[in-house]
Structure 1
Amino acid sequence: MVRSSSTIKLNIGLIHIGSCPLHLIHNSFKIGIDSTTNWSIEEFLNNLAFWFSRSPSRREDYLKVAKYISNDIGKFIRRFIITRWLDAGPIMERIIKQWTNLNEYFIKFIPINRKISLNNHLYIQIKRFFETKSTIIRLNFLVFLYHNIYEKILIWFQQTQPLIHVLYDECEQLIRRVLSCFINEDLIKNKTLNELMKISFHNQANQKCDLELDIGEATRLGLNNLSNEENKQFFSDIRNIYSSITKELTRTLPLNNDLLRHLKCLHPMMRHSETSHISIMNIARSFPQMIVPDEIDRINAEWYLYQNENIPNEWYEKTNEYHAIDYYWKNIFTLKTNTGTDKFIALPKLIKCVLALSHGNADVERGFSENAFLLTDDRSLLSDASINGLRATRDGVKFFGNGKPHEVPITKALLDSVRGAHSRYCIDLEKRQQELLTNKNLVNEEKQNDFFIEKQNDLYDEQKCLHKNLTNIQKMIDEGTERLTSAISSKDFKEIETSLLLIEGGNEKLAMTTTHIVCNSSQLNQLKKKQKK
């Protein structure tokens, strides 16, 4: 049953496709390991790596032991980092292959030679793991889990080609693989995803018996060395691991995302599916920011044309695999009508929008790693243009020469580009120098404008102060005049003399202030003329 488009989650400007599946899948592995707290595998791996990484003498002793026992060259344990997608399996495999050598080194060689204190805390921890019979069995199971469930999908989703159209199917198959390892077959056989999601996988009645649990042959052979009680505990841990992984995957993977489910119709094998037409219409309605209603109607018609088109198998099939989906659709969009016009107008726009959606963050994080590789300590001052140029060159070698510079075809266009590189560099350098000069002039102009504005403000402040003084002087002269008139009336000659002095002083100050005001106005006018220039 295909749901209507109204069930698809839409946000303005955003397309909901869930989080990066690579991180979600890897996190389920970590949660599965952490669900059995008594295993402490992460601690064991880190202790082993640390033991050899800080001591050349220990490495030398171990190499001697390995050569003496198996005449093989011993390989040291790489540092285990749980957040790295593909680290766990290879590291544990290396330990398993060298288990005899490592066991001999820690259990016999060190106590006999006494090169370190037997009370060394790190040594005691590592020795405890080697003395525990179930350690090698646990490692074998985790390696089986890694290869059987995680390795393929983690590697597959790190591809750079568009895979958004198969993301839903791959997530569904992952859930089926996990459930098939520990759930009774009759509960999962021929069941839809919705039915699988309803299985009570924590219920042991729905789980396989111990003999039928998928744990790998190497793991099962090792169980012969354990007691009945240890066997019972081991299988209990296995069930917890599978249940924890299933719970995390069903909780986080986009299994309820209708848009991803509809995107399956873009696969060449789904072209004639009965539901593909409904799916493409739902997809078109999921991009309201890009696809207008008129284009949706056209997509409706063009999809029927696409379904009835005779498409060569070579467009999507190659030896033992399919071509990339963008290669297939590129060929589809080259089809013409009898008049020579493009057969598909609106459909390419929608397909390009869809294939632009990323199926994970691997490509982005790979870009971060490449940038970190380019920006070494002695190249920390590279400009953005230089970094982009180096990245473009690297991508060009990868695209045209499969990552090998000597396989890049030497074409006339490439030779012309190389010949013109220096002239383009000179032109670019001249442009940058011109930009620097322009920026410098702008900075100087801004500084000059700031200076003019500051000086203008000072002159305005001075002008206000002068006008205020002028008012006070006028008041002083008026006061002297009034006192003089009063003194003349009363014939007070002493007051007359004082009044005259007051008036004369006021007139002198008035003349000086007026001169300052004229000078201030002149300076303001000159400053305004300079600003206009």
Structure 2
Amino acid sequence: MVVLVQKLLGHFVRSEAYCLVNGKDLPRLDINSPAIWKASVEVGADTEAAMSNWEPAEKRAFRLGARNFYLKATGYLLARLPFQNMTLRSLRCLSPNAREEESSGSELRCLDMKLPQVIQPGDISMLMDEYTVFQLDTLESAENIDECWRAAFDLKKCDGTTKYPILSKLVKAVLIIPHGNADVERGFSENRRLLQDRARLTLESFNGIRHVVCYGERFDSDPSSFTVTPEVLKVVRNSKKRYSERLALQKEQSAKRPREEPEAVPNSEGQDLQKEVETAKKMLTNAELLIAHGLKTNDLAEVESGNSLLASGKSRLEMAIQKMAGSKNSLPANDLSVHF
């Protein structure tokens, strides 16, 4: 993030104005101050060659437009990039060049605190001890982060066991976090397929389905290559168990209610719209629960799933309300009391 912003700043701001500014202080840089601007905006050698036959007024207008573009682009990034995010800043400790820096130990501890589901609290001291030994260890110099940590993972003790088991577990968990647009968009698409017309899924059932689907993708979704492990069986059984418990509870509650005359099956358009609104409400409720649970457990996948379900619920509710507005069969006012 910092390098990207610095590249933009280099086109129109003097280097002494930002070269010593660290990432968290970059948003405070007043890029709109003419005092730090370069005398001439850099537009590239190819553009300079193309402008060689232009009139001076045309060149001046073009450079003004280029500066405005750089100002808006840089201002947009400075306002939206998470420079204050401690987790992202702590990822510096994974860089091969940061291994010998004193601050890398505290950054590693910060990462561990953000991922309590990976390293248990009782193993934090062992993790820091392993990292201290890792800092003193002799490794082949590598500029690529993958090559550096692959070499560390391959190190063995005298008895043949992994030299840094806890450190390797944390680093692998951090490196596999999706961070590209394709990974994120793919996750939203998978969530949308799972949640389509299934507003009653609980958090446990939804996570169980996602785990099984993700596990199956390792084998190109080929059933003949799918390896059934105790972990996969446990996920499926837990999802089935919770689903059965919920059905049994609903059946018990229905039996306790006073018997009423069965109502005629609603066929009108108004009744169909009412069902659509109720389904959208349930989707919004489940989305809020999913997001809250994901924030509580620091599970980014659950938060993304909740956002996907929330967007689907809102879209479904808006479509139902639009149909309702043009329908002659109006619904009671309390059926529309949804806030989003």
Q: In the aligned structure 2, how far is the partner of 1:349 from the partner of 1:394?
A: 22
Q: In the aligned structure 2, how far is the partner of 1:214 from the partner of 1:236?
A: 11
Aligned counterpart in structure 2 of residue 245 of structure 1, from 54, 66, 73: 73
The superposition leaves residues 44-101 of structure 1 with CA deviations (integer Å, 9 ceiling, x where unpaired) of xxxxxxxxxxxxxxxxxxxxxxxxxxxxxxxxxxxxxxxxxxxxxxxxxxxxxxxxxx
Q: In the aligned structure 2, how far is the partner of 1:371 from the partner of 1:284?
A: 28
Q: Please state if 1:256 is matched with 2:84.
A: yes
Query: 2:11 maps to which residue?
Result: 181
Q: Please state if 1:332 is matched with 2:134.
A: no
- Deviation, structure 1 residue 263: 1.2
For 1:275, give the aligned amino acid: S
Q: Please state if 1:306 is matched with 2:134.
A: yes
Residue pairs, 1:2-401, within 5 angstroms: 171-188=1-18, 190-193=19-22, 196-210=26-40, 213-288=41-116, 290-313=118-141, 322=144, 324=146, 328-329=148-149, 331-366=151-186
**TM, length-normalised to structure 1:** 0.35
For 1:269, give the aligned amino acid: N
Q: Which runs of 5+ in 2 are unaligned?
A: 194-210, 227-250, 260-340
Q: In the aligned structure 2, how far is the partner of 1:248 from the partner of 1:292?
A: 39
Cα distance 1:204–1:338, how it changes in 2: closer, same or farther (>3 A)? same
The superposition leaves residues 266-302 of structure 1 with CA deviations (integer Å, 9 ceiling, x where unpaired) of 1233222232222222322333455444322111211
Cα distance 1:199–1:260, how it changes in 2: closer, same or farther (>3 A)? same
- SS in structure 2 at match of 1:280: helix
Contact 2:219 2:225 in 1 (8 A): no
Q: In the aligned structure 2, how far is the partner of 1:181 from the partner of 1:218?
A: 15
Query: 1:402 maps to which residue?
Result: none
**TM, length-normalised to structure 2:** 0.52
The superposition leaves residues 149-184 of structure 1 with CA deviations (integer Å, 9 ceiling, x where unpaired) of xxxxxxxxxxxxxxxxxxxxxx11111100101112
Cα distance 1:395–1:209, how it changes in 2: closer, same or farther (>3 A)? farther
Contact 1:285 1:296 in 2 (8 A): no
Contact 2:109 2:128 in 1 (8 A): yes
- Deviation, structure 1 residue 206: 1.5
Cα distance 1:312–1:396, how it changes in 2: closer, same or farther (>3 A)? farther
Contact 2:51 2:59 in 1 (8 A): yes
- Deviation, structure 1 residue 368: 6.0
Cα distance 1:395–1:226, how it changes in 2: closer, same or farther (>3 A)? farther
Instruction: Please give the root-mean-square deviation of Cα atoms over the aligned residues, in Å.
Output: 4.9
Contact 2:90 2:108 in 1 (8 A): yes
Q: In the aligned structure 1, how far is the partner of 2:191 from the partner of 2:166?
A: 37
Work out which of the two has the higher radius of gyration on C-alpha atoms and give 1 or 2. 1
- SS in structure 1 at match of 2:115: coil
Contact 2:32 2:71 in 1 (8 A): yes
Higher relative contact order (CA 8 A, sep 6+): 1
Q: In the aligned structure 2, how far is the partner of 1:276 from the partner of 1:263?
A: 9
- Deviation, structure 1 residue 261: 1.5
- SS in structure 2 at match of 1:324: helix
- SS in structure 2 at match of 1:262: helix
The superposition leaves residues 207-228 of structure 1 with CA deviations (integer Å, 9 ceiling, x where unpaired) of 1123xx2212333234345444
For 1:336, give the aligned amino acid: K
Contact 2:96 2:145 in 1 (8 A): no
For 1:351, give the aligned amino acid: V
Q: In the aligned structure 2, how far is the partner of 1:371 from the partner of 1:288?
A: 25
Q: Which runs of 5+ in 1 are unaligned?
A: 1-170, 375-387, 398-413, 419-442, 444-448, 455-533
- Deviation, structure 1 residue 306: 1.1
For 2:146, give the aligned amino acid: A
Query: 1:467 maps to which residue?
Result: none
The superposition leaves residues 186-238 of structure 1 with CA deviations (integer Å, 9 ceiling, x where unpaired) of 334x423256544322122321123xx22123332343454443333322221
Q: In the aligned structure 2, how far is the partner of 1:176 from the partner of 1:396?
A: 42
Contact 1:181 1:214 in 2 (8 A): yes
Q: Percent identity over the alignment?
A: 30
Q: In the aligned structure 1, how far is the partner of 2:92 from the partner of 2:191?
A: 34
> Between Structure 1 and Structure 2, how many residues are aligned?
234
The superposition leaves residues 26-54 of structure 1 with CA deviations (integer Å, 9 ceiling, x where unpaired) of xxxxxxxxxxxxxxxxxxxxxxxxxxxxx
- Deviation, structure 1 residue 351: 2.3
Cα distance 1:354–1:371, how it changes in 2: closer, same or farther (>3 A)? closer
